């Protein structure tokens, strides 16, 4: 047993009332696979403190002493929990490997206990569409391997989110798109950026690290759209970008269209803070590459996740901070 990892995998539950059929595990190409680390799924502050201050043996002892006490929900919990809505629809199952559970009300299909080693090498084998962790170093490692990944943070206060519809909000540049336009802002300022985007309006941006995750969600959505069930679709996606609708926004929309993708809503803030708008959307998760947008969303009660990609990142540390073995 891995220190910090729970102890006994639970048997999969049967789908709840209203299920159309028992949910057999979907083929990887038909599922959206989300890997969530223990510390993202559960609150493990005390476990992390003991590991850091008292070492691994005390950490193991503490875990064994408390193995029958369920963890409190962590920031990724609502995101994973709403997944159960999909069990009502055959073939539309979100899987959640890479973590563990002693939470009595959660269905986790697969576990990955890595003995303190990095789980990143297993993510591709699991056909992972998204990896969420509390450990920024592991997330960077996953991004470097071409896996959509983000460091997830708890909001400053609890906000009620939908229990029946998964809402996912994405920043554009350096999240869905590459950071090529942000590099121009950094190097030459906003005026040059507007000129550049106008001149290249019909040239799609290169893809960013989370494009594949939007694509995977879009595949599920299209199953509803093709049956005329757009309004009943249990997934809703949002583009929440600092771009302006009047100028640089056109290239973002045309890029998505060139990929055969769309978001249900596209919100162009022209540099305004994102937090107040996200407070209205109430997404289960919001992705951004810039920490001040992540912090602004957190302050307004949104579960926000940082995508460590692109020119906005601070220089990497040379040595990772000490982490408990299971805290990925």
Residues that bind Mg ion (CB under 5 A): 171, 173-174, 289
Minimum CB distance to Mg ion smaller for 60 or for 269: 269
Minimum CB distance to Mg ion smaller for 137 or for 173: 173
Q: Which residue number has the CB closest to Mg ion?
A: 173
Q: How far is the CB of 307 from Mg ion (least distance, A)?
A: 8
Minimum CB distance to Mg ion smaller for 112 or for 174: 174
Q: How far is the CB of 139 from Mg ion (least distance, A)?
A: 16
Q: How far is the CB of 255 from Mg ion (least distance, A)?
A: 14
Minimum CB distance to Mg ion smaller for 134 or for 312: 312
Which positions are catalytic? Answer: 171
Cα–Cα distance, 37 to 116 (Å, whole number): 12
Q: How far is the CB of 80 from Mg ion (least distance, A)?
A: 25
């Amino acid at each position: 047993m891995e220190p910090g990892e729970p102890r006994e995998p639970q048997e999969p539950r049967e789908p709840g009332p209203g299920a159309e059929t028992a949910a057999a595990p979907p083929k990887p190409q038909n599922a959206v696979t989300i890997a969530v680390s223990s510390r993202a799924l559960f609150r493990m502050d005390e476990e992390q403190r003991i590991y850091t201050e008292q070492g691994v043996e005390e950490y193991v002892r503490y875990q064994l002493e408390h193995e029958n006490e369920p963890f409190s929900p962590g920031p990724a919990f609502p995101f994973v929990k709403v997944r159960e809505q999909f069990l009502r629809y055959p073939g539309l199952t979100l899987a959640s490997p890479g973590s563990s559970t002693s939470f009595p009300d959660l269905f986790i299909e697969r576990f990955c206990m890595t003995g303190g080693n990095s789980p990143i090498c297993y993510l591709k084998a699991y056909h992972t569409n998204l990896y969420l962790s509390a450990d920024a170093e592991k997330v960077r490692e996953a991004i470097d391997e071409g896996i959509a990944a983000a460091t997830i943070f708890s909001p400053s206060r609890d906000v009620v989110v939908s229990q029946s519809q998964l809402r996912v909000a994405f920043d554009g540049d350096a999240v869905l798109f590459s950071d090529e336009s942000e590099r121009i802002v950094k190097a030459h300022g906003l005026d040059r950026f507007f000129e550049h985007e106008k001149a290249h309006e019909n040239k799609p941006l290169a893809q960013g690290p989370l494009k594949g995750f939007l694509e995977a969600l879009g595949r599920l959505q299209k199953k509803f759209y093709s049956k005329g069930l757009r309004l009943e679709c249990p997934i809703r996606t949002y583009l929440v970008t600092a771009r302006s609708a009047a100028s640089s926004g056109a290239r973002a929309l045309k890029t998505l269209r060139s990929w055969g993708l769309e978001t249900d809503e596209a919100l162009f803030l022209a540099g305004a803070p994102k937090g107040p708008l996200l407070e209205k959307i109430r997404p289960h998760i919001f992705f951004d590459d810039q920490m001040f947008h992540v912090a602004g969303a957190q302050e307004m009660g949104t579960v926000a996740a940082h995508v460590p990609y692109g020119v906005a990142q601070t220089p990497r540390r040379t040595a990772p901070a000490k982490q408990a073995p299971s805290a990925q």
